[in-house]
Amino acid sequence: METKELRQKSKDELQKLLDEKKGSLDKFRFDFSFGKNKNVKHGSILKKDIARILTILNEK
């Protein structure tokens, strides 16, 4: 998700999106530990998305 798209969202929308991304990261970690997920890059993408959302929330 691009930063421009995130800046247009309200705080409530960003908070909801943050909760979804954190849940996805937890699911990814769980699946990865059991060998179901082979794409390691997906985890780093999720972490970067979470960082972007947190940065924009702190700016607002």
Per-residue pLDDT tens digits for 5-51? 999 999 999 999 999 999 999 999 999 888 887 788 999 999 999 99
What is the model's pLDDT at position 11?
A: 93
Q: How many CB atoms lie within 10 A of CB 32?
A: 15
- The CATH code belonging to domain 3-59 is 1.10.287
pLDDT > 90: percent of the chain: 68
Q: Where are the domains of the chain?
A: 3-59
What is the model's pLDDT at position 54?
A: 95
What's the pTM value of the predicted model, to 2 decimals?
A: 0.85
Q: How many CB atoms lie within 10 A of CB 2?
A: 7
